[in-house]
């Protein structure tokens, strides 16, 4: 399986990091070794001093497909989850300044926390999903998928022009504004609507 991630897909988040708002989806990937499941803790990596959380809605691909047409894109995912795209922000800034790829800062082991998945039909407002992240019980990120620059269906069409989608692939659809650092001892708790989806302690 592969993990496909979208950068800068909420305008307010692009602006908070002084990045331009993209005109086409910005894509990067993480290997399967990045997955952090079952609410396991994340051990603070030794190669960063500025580890950030980015809470994101995650789509689970349920059909194989290439060059997906817009009218069929919706049928390529039946379940959604909540993920945290952990980012070594200091390292990412160094890599960006050199024009290098982001993988060292974004795709390291356990950098993709993921919740269990829920059927999209059980989320009453599929096109307007509220989601949020708390740090030590305080709200730090709140988003709604109606504010996505590139919709779920647009992403599925775009990605599948370049990468064949396989059953089980995950798409991290981007983070809203409010990203920030964690330190050892912090606990992150993520929600879709009122439903607690995941927790992650930083150790
Ligand atoms: Mg992200």
- Confidence (pLDDT) at 17: 84
* CA 57 to ligand 1 centroid distance, Å: 10
Average pLDDT of the segment spanning 147-175: 97
* CA 5 to ligand 1 centroid distance, Å: 7
Please report the beta strands in 39-76, taking only residues with DSSP state E, as ranges in sequence order.
51-53, 55-61
* CA 125 to ligand 1 centroid distance, Å: 23
* CA 51 to ligand 1 centroid distance, Å: 13
- Tell me how far apart the alpha carbons of residues 132 and 116 are, in angstroms, rounded to a whole number: 16
Q: What's the pLDDT tens digit per position in 108-142? A: 999 999 999 999 988 867 779 999 999 999 999 99
Tell me which residue range forms the domain holding 38. 3-201
The reported pTM is: 0.96
* CA 14 to ligand 1 centroid distance, Å: 11
Q: What's the pLDDT tens digit per position in 29-54? A: 999 999 999 999 999 999 999 999 99
The domain that holds 146 is classified in CATH as: 3.90.850.10
* CA 188 to ligand 1 centroid distance, Å: 16
* CA 23 to ligand 1 centroid distance, Å: 17
* CA 69 to ligand 1 centroid distance, Å: 25
- Confidence (pLDDT) at 127: 78
- Confidence (pLDDT) at 20: 84
- Tell me how far apart the alpha carbons of residues 164 and 193 are, in angstroms, rounded to a whole number: 31
| Average pLDDT in the chain | 96
Contact in structure between 61 and 2 (CB atoms under 8 Å): no
Report the domain count for the chain: 1
Question: Which residues are 66's β-sheet partners?
Answer: none
């Amino acid at each position: 399986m592969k993990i496909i991630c979208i950068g800068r897909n909420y305008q307010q988040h692009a602006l908070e990091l002084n990045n331009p708002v993209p005109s086409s989806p910005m894509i990067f990937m993480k290997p399967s070794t990045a997955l952090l499941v079952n609410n396991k803790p994340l051990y603070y990596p030794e190669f960063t001093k500025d580890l950030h959380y980015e809470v994101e809605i995650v789509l689970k691909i349920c059909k194989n497909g290439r060059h997906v047409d817009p009218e069929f894109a919706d049928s390529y995912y039946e379940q959604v989850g909540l993920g945290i795209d952990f980012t070594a922000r200091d390292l990412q800034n160094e890599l960006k300044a050199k024009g290098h790829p982001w993988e060292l800062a974004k795709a390291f082991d356990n950098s993709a926390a993921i919740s269990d998945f829920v059927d999209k039909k059980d989320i009453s407002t599929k096109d307007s999903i509220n989601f949020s992240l708390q740090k030590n019980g305080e709200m730090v990120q709140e988003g709604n998928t109606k504010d996505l620059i590139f919709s779920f269906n647009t992403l599925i069409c775009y990605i599948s022009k370049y990468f064949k989608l396989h059953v089980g692939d995950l798409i991290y659809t981007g983070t809203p504004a409010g990203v920030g650092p964690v330190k050892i001892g912090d606990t992150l708790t993520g929600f879709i609507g009122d439903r607690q989806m995941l927790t992650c302690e930083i150790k």
